[in-house]
A and B are shown apart, each in its own frame.
Chain A
């Protein structure tokens, strides 16, 4: 039985290594400013924790076949070994944690670029809307309960009386200029949704009653998918949108074409 267990654990460990080494499914190519740093940290984590995984499984497997003496040792512990192990693992995890904290502070920096492009993202069961402030740089006031009429082209309920709203552009796809910092202002009209753009390593919940500010910088032109990642009801699985990243000129042209 010991040999069977040894072989089983070895087989499982090898299978896990193979799965992560061959990785038929994996992170999509990263196309945002912080993607490379995040991927690096993720790979560091996989090597560190993968190493601990293999070491622990191998110890488990080999301890099971290693039993030569007639009597088991009467061994209630070993303080030097226990303290050494505990300190070693604590230092290792502390180092890993500090690395992670530095990355988090890089993604959520204290100071953001003041000329970041502002885009409002609103989640509604089961649709995303993206609002650009238009030429005046200001978003019009919204009141979903009074003015929201999706059939009449005003899904967000922009107050017709507010002049700042007259030139607002509302799109069902997120169009971003490449290499420019954008500030996403996340809102939700009904329940909690979550903007997940895997290629940009970006995820942030959109919470009703709150405005959540998040920053993002796309680094490659192209089309990428947004998936909702917070259970929001029946249509959660199809609450999809597309991010289109364009050159700065292309983006300006797009804004012009959408101008009301």
Chain B
């Protein structure tokens, strides 16, 4: 019950409880080993008039502190990367869906003097260039224009991801490529949790359905999750893909740890991976 406690002090000792801004910073930054009867201590210290007064101040201060902490965490580059890769996928999926619709619809309107549009976004570009002559053509051309715009947004999102992934995780982005790096970060729930995952988990991130099917005894163990999109996995012959995926995942896990705990770019792990992949691919030539 002395004025000092060995485990640390209450938040109100660091800042005036009615000065919400500085008190909020104290809530987010200070620590204490052991809690005390803070309301009583604050009254005793004379910083508040009574317990009701204390709780009133505490309410204001915790709201403010937590609002600021949420904002800080949510606007971090890592979080922005997470949203942008998800948005890129949404834009791509939606653009493809609309492209199918536009091509099918425009095909029915092509008539004699126009080529029916090709499949995909190229066909949509052709349709967007038509001069509409009927109300139906006006609609399909307008839809085509919007689809082309959406595809452009997808491309813009992709370049945003490409420029931001290296600032979040330079080694991971170098090794995996920025888009795959962003996907891995997204699936793992951030750089910190990716850095804490074992290589075997990194190898099958994104293949959770197959993994759990395997664990329940329905099906083989998955060799790779999203890392399949990496040239080192996809470009390796099927017999060696398991080895390639394992080697890549191992180095990716290390890259994530360097990025999280260190932060500097390290050329040697990239060289190590290249050597290892060369060895695996040599097997192909030997047969």
- Binding between chains A and B: no
Q: Please report A residues at the B interface, Cβ cutoff 8 Å.
A: none
